[in-house]
Structure 1
């Protein structure tokens, strides 16, 4: 059910990790090491992936290497949104991959790449085709972000929200499907690249879109998916029931599951971006999810991943 375990999401982005609490990322590195060891103890064949970095920064990879974290990881992942948030042009994608390749010999995945339709839906069509042209064959895994637009009634996972201006509102228009489930022009284009290109789709707690998302992914020919299991959500009522339902619904796909989001009451600060008070608690959450959904001794789809790395 799980082909790879990703530890955290965008750790060098302050919307996902608080640098005021951990300015040198030493606490983060220690947490990664602890979680990686716990995952490996449960299933030594499961690839462990560094949460996709954003921005793409080779200096950050060197920093984690200096703290010993890379010794406990099998794959490094990056995120890029050159038409929306990054300060580089879309045609620089191969060079950005090469920047990371220059500082690590580990395989590199693009675990989020996407184009917002905030300005125009036609921009996404062009950007999708150009992204596929630049990245397919360059890296073994590409997760397009995302299948659905983020509902406007929800909040985007970012620190300053509306104070970010148009940058914030772009978060709500990253889907191939609109909020109401109707297709954008890019949906048909995406089908041309599946299964070479997978999807990244975050499912909120008890997300009403889950079953429709599965139906759409099968219709599109998607073979692999990145999603998340939230440490913070694990403290909600009936959390395991929701996790079970989510993972059962996704059983026909090769799933990279991302473990992230600090529960407010277990962080050094009461925020999902905080380093945990006790890193072993996050490690145990990761281990418990592997025991439940990818225990050692069962066939692991990761074998297919390792063949192409």
Structure 2
């Protein structure tokens, strides 16, 4: 069921890691390295992926190499949203992947790529077709973000809001399905490219969309999926019951599970982007989740 685990999400983006508390990513590097080693100790055969970077920055990968982080992972990943947030054109996707390949021999995944319907659904339709043309065959995993629009009453995991024009609001229009579950124009085009394209769909704690999402993914021909298990959520009452339900529902897919989000009471500062006070605690969470959902096989004899 679980084919890979991802260590954090967008570590070089301030929406997911606090650059003021850890300006040189030394704390992040130490945390990620410990987590990768802890996962390997539980299941040596499980693929470990460094959290997808956004922006796509070769210097960050070189920094991780100098810190020894790349010795504790089996692949790196990138995120790209050139029609919404990035300062490059969609046609540059092959070049962006090659920029990362130039600084590491590890496989390069595209663990998030997507296009919002903020301006028009036709933009997403065209962009999906062009993205598939550019990426299929160039990366071992391509996770389209996402299946559902983010419900408008929820908060996007970001710090930007109106300070950057439409950037914050584009988060709410990334789905192939609208908030009410009705299809957008690009849904049928995505189905034509599955299973070469997978999905990235984050499920919030006790997410009411889980079962419906599974049905849609099977209907679309999706075989691989990226989602997350939140370290912060693990402290909620009933957390393990929710994690069990989520992972059981996704058992028919090849799942990449992302471990991220610092519990406020365990951060250096009380925020989900904070480096943890004790990096070994994040490593222990990762090991516990792998032990629960992807334990290593024990050799006979």
Structures share fold, TM-score greater than 0.5: yes
> Partner residue of 1:250?
250
Q: Give runs of aligned pairs for residues 200-211 of structure 1, distance below 5 A.
A: 200-211=200-211
SS in 2 for 1:143: strand
Q: Distance in 1 between matches of 2:165 and 2:151?
A: 18
> Partner residue of 2:94?
94
C-alpha distance after superposition, 1:157-215 (max 9, x if no partner): 00132333210000000000000000001000000010011000000000000000000
Q: Distance in 2 between matches of 1:259 and 1:252?
A: 20
C-alpha distance after superposition, 1:39-96 (max 9, x if no partner): 0010000010000000000000011111111111100000000000000000000000
Q: Distance in 2 between matches of 1:238 and 1:73?
A: 31
> Partner residue of 1:164?
164
Q: Distance in 2 between matches of 1:6 and 1:287?
A: 12
Tell me which moved more, 157-166 or 12-21: 157-166
Q: Distance in 2 between matches of 1:261 and 1:173?
A: 23
SS in 1 for 2:207: coil
Q: Distance in 2 between matches of 1:227 and 1:42?
A: 21
C-alpha distance after superposition, 1:245-299 (max 9, x if no partner): 000000000000000000000000000000000000000000000000000118x
SS in 1 for 2:51: strand
C-alpha distance after superposition, 1:16-37 (max 9, x if no partner): 0001111110100000111001
> Partner residue of 2:139?
139
Q: Distance in 2 between matches of 1:98 and 1:165?
A: 31
SS in 2 for 1:14: coil
RMSD of Structure 2 on Structure 1 (CA): 1.0
Q: Distance in 2 between matches of 1:269 and 1:161?
A: 21
Q: Give runs of aligned pairs for residues 230-249 of structure 1, distance below 5 A.
A: 230-249=230-249
> Partner residue of 1:282?
282
SS in 1 for 2:277: coil
> Partner residue of 2:46?
46
> Partner residue of 1:303?
none
SS in 2 for 1:4: strand
SS in 2 for 1:53: coil
SS in 1 for 2:52: strand
Aligned residue pair count? 299
Q: Distance in 2 between matches of 1:126 and 1:153?
A: 28
| TM-score, length-scaled by structure 2 | 0.98
Deviation above 3 Å: which 4+ runs of structure 1? none
> Partner residue of 2:196?
196
Whether 2:66 is the aligned partner of 1:60: answer no
> Partner residue of 2:181?
181
SS in 2 for 1:86: coil
Q: Distance in 2 between matches of 1:163 and 1:264?
A: 24
Q: Distance in 1 between matches of 2:160 and 2:34?
A: 30
Q: Distance in 2 between matches of 1:165 and 1:82?
A: 16
Q: Distance in 1 between matches of 2:243 and 2:80?
A: 28
SS in 2 for 1:257: strand
